[in-house]
Structure 1
Amino acid sequence: MYSKGGKEMSLEKARQDYESFSEAVKEIFGERAEITGQDYVYGGSINDSRKISLSTGDQIFAKTNTIENQKFFETEITGLQALRSVGEIGVPEILGSGIDQEKGISFLLLEYLECSSKRKDYWTEFGHQLANLHKAECSRFVKSDNENDRYGFLEDNFIGAGPQNNTPKESWIDFYRECRLLPQMKAAENYFDPDTMRKLDCLLERLESYLEEPDFPSILHGDLWGGNVMCGSDGKAWLIDPAAYVGDFEADLAMTQLFGSFPEEFYSAYNEINPISADYPQKRDFYQLYHLLNHLNLFGRSYFGNVIRIIRKYV
């Protein structure tokens, strides 16, 4: 479980070299452990996900993919470890991972979260927890030889199935321009006519007019929509499926409002611990633009209209 009171834990290590699914189960739960049941868990489009029941009475959450896509799990582990190590909010324990050559799969085994009813103060508590996560010291999550680099992550990872560049930068605006918007714009250029491409170039050039350097860097979940928050057996919020990196905390808040929005008590509670800036509504569009471009690149033209709406609003 996660620590309380803001005490930071070291990055945990989970074995990542199991040579088969069954080997992992037996080493983690004992030689007598056998799989007695498997139930599909729906909700994701990238991995095959199942609840695995064992003869020991334990239950685990298992993700599988092709061997070629093992990197999805390697980077997810790093993100989960980073979020868990802060100790401010529930994050599933990482049990192990590996490649099963016989089955032709890569796999990731996690603590199974048994969903429960939300506590009455669920959204208030979640707002406080996320604010404390964002306020935590996070320099150890940026891997760079330059001590002035404040934004980035320990490694590149994925946003959904798309690659996410986490090259460290001193400036948040430079990071967001070069590692977030620019790669997505290049990938989506076939969707845009020359006039729109000029507007995109203009937006990148004038990014300082719309964004500002944060007062401090924050460790972010990176893909914080409602589907990546679960209610655990304790009745509190738990974070899953991160695309973690160090950035501006308001980028996480913007993602919570891209597909609907969390209840108002969440944002009010968050603001009590970590005040949201007055110009957040303007920045929200720019932070959502990254995710909309990514969805355009992954899922097609249904996201085109929202991308154009933001571009036309500011250019």
Structure 2
Amino acid sequence: MLAARAPGVAMQQQVMARWLAQQGLELAAMQPVGGGCIHRAWRLELRDGSQRFAKTNRAALLPVLEAEADGLNALRAAAQLEPTEAPLPLIPDPLDLAELEGEAVLLLSWLELGGGSQQGWLELGQGLAGLHRASLASSDGRFGWHQNNFIGSGPQDNSWRGSWAEFFSEQRLGVQLELAAAAGRALPEARALLEQVPHWLAAHEPEACLVHGDLWSGNAGLLIGGGSALFDPAVSRSDREVDLAMARLFGGFPAAFFEGYEQEWPLPAGHRQRVDLYNLYHLLNHANLFGGGYWQQSAASIQALLRQWS
């Protein structure tokens, strides 16, 4: 049960219990779990001994949870498109979504995280490669997504484009730089960067894979008993390299993860040079969301990219 010192939790548990009862589920206990920086997260223990995972936030953020559910469903569907020998990661099942007494709630299947073997990370890399490749079976070659969604809690523009260079320049970097300028934080050389990015990427013609889109180490993990999992996506049809680039940011994934991916589907020439360019998107997003040192990191990255690519 929840600790008595947590204000308001008893009432929330009652609300959750009533909602679950409508689905034929009987709540036994509800405990907060850590890990998220946007939503509150809960482990729900049911009378039958099974568990569920729930995310809650204020009702205004229901669209963020709706977009997450859409992304999870897309990844789960992609995993069924093409047979692969790679051990695909487990994607949690979005079971229900609702607004309950002023709060948005997303109910998910429970993942028992806690593994940590090098073999597990190798298989996660292989599985991500298999998922990327399988998703091509439903691709029409365009970059974007059927709806805009969110990167963290920031807006992500997924308007369809036929050119990856234009999509990344305008729908990714351009949007973030516009948000920065609107907040009074216009970055030096931002315009020069945007003018150059389409040229830098002109010769790079990736396939339009379904990507996780927010693949830092907090949004993936290994399962107790074996296997791996991906969660909290910000999906789009994009260059598969964006997932591999972000996996090197914010602490990064173990080397075995990248080895596994390369074994299953090697990346093309030049991919290491594109890492910092692709990760500028996430630095800018963090600057727009959280401020602080991310502004300096973003400005320094722009300057470094202009030097490296010139």
Counterpart of 2:197 in structure 1 is: 207
CA–CA distance in 2 between the matches of 1:174 and 1:22?
Answer: 48
Between the aligned partners of 1:231 and 1:53, the Cα distance in structure 2 is 21
1:52–1:61 contact (8 Å) kept in structure 2: yes
Deviations along 1:115-144, one digit per CA (max 9) or x if unpaired, are: 243455111111110111111234747xxx
Give ranges in structure 2 of 5+ residues lacking alignment.
1-14, 80-87
Does structure 2 retain, via aligned residues, the 8 Å contact 1:39–1:52? yes
Counterpart of 2:109 in structure 1 is 111
Aligned to 2:155: 163
Q: Structure 1: any 5+ residue segments left out of the alignment?
A: 1-19, 142-146
Match of 2:174 in 1: 182
What is the deviation of 1:209?
3.4
Match of 2:12 in 1: none
* 1:210 Cα deviation from its structure 2 partner: 2.5
Length-normalised TM-score, structure 2: 0.85
2: distance between equivalents of 1:293 and 1:205? Answer: 17
Identity in percent: 36
The 3-state SS of whatever aligns with 1:36 is: strand
Counterpart AA for 2:270: D
SS in structure 1 of the partner of residue 293 of structure 2:
helix
Q: Secondary structure at the match of 2:301?
A: helix
User: Whole-Å Cα distance in 2 between the matches of residues 52 and 314 of structure 1?
Assistant: 46
Q: Distance in 1 between matches of 2:179 and 2:123?
A: 39
SS of the counterpart of 1:56?
coil
Report the equivalent of 1:13: none
Matching residue within 181, 191, 196 for 2:185:
191
Residues 135-187 of structure 1 show CA distances to partners (whole Å, capped at 9, x for unaligned) of 1234747xxxxx6x611112111000101011111011111111101110011
Q: Using a 3 Å threshold, how does the CA distance of structure 1 residues 257 and 119 change in structure 2: closer, same or farther?
A: closer
Contact 1:24 1:97 in 2 (8 A): no
| Cα distance in 2 between the residues matched to 1:234 and 1:83 | 23
Q: TM-score, normalised by structure 1?
A: 0.84
**CA positional deviation for 1:21:** 4.0
Tell me, what secondary structure is at the counterpart of 2:272?
Answer: helix
**Tell me, what secondary structure is at the counterpart of 1:191?**
coil
Q: Is the 8 A contact 2:119 2:256 kept in 1?
A: no
Letter in structure 1 aligned against 2:213 = G
8 Å contact kept, 2:121–2:222: no
Q: Determine the C-alpha separation between the residues in 2 that align with 1:118 and 1:60.
A: 22
**Counterpart pick for 2:275 among 265, 280, 284:** 284
Q: Give the Cα–Cα distance (whole angstroms) in 1 for the partners of residues 116 and 251 of structure 2.
A: 19
Output one character per residue of 1:19-56: Cα deviation in whole Å (capped at 9) or x when no partner: x744541243x2xx432211111111211111011222
Q: Distance in 2 between matches of 1:99 and 1:77?
A: 14
Per-residue CA shift, 1:241-283, capped at 9, x if unaligned? 0001110011111101111222222212211221123312221
Partner of 1:256: 247
How far apart, CA to CA, are the structure 2 residues paired with 1:139 and 1:178?
26
Q: Retained in 2: the 8 A contact 1:92–1:110?
A: yes
Misfit runs of 4+, over 6 Å: none
Give the residue type in structure 2 aligned to 1:89: P
AA aligned to 1:191 is: R
Residue of structure 2 aligned with 1:270, choices 252, 258, 261: 261
Given candidates 234, 237, 240, the residue that maps to 2:228 is 237
Structure 1 window deviating more from structure 2 (280-289 vs 111-120): it is 111-120
Tell me what 2:96 maps to: 96
Pick which of 153-162 and 270-279 moved more: 270-279
Q: Which of 220, 241, 247 is matched with 2:238 structurally?
A: 247
Q: CA deviation at 1:230?
A: 2.1
Query: How far apart in 2 are the matches of 1:263 and 1:105?
Result: 37
How many residues of Structure 1 are paired with residues of Structure 2 in the alignment?
281
Q: Is the contact made by 1:219 and 1:245 (CA closer than 8 Å) also made in structure 2? A: yes
Query: How has the CA–CA distance of structure 1 residues 117 and 137 changed in structure 2, closer, same or farther, with 3 Å as cutoff?
Result: closer
Aligned-partner SS, 1:259? coil
Counterpart secondary structure, 2:158: coil
DSSP-derived class of the 1:308 partner: helix
Match of 2:53 in 1: 61
For residue 220 of structure 1, what is the aligned residue in structure 2? 211
CA 1:280–1:120 in structure 2 vs 1: closer, same or farther (change >3 Å)? closer
| Secondary structure of the structure 2 residue equivalent to 1:301 | coil
Q: Does 1:76 align with 2:68?
A: yes
1:16-55 superposed matches below 5 A? 21-22=16-17, 24-28=19-23, 30=24, 33-55=25-47
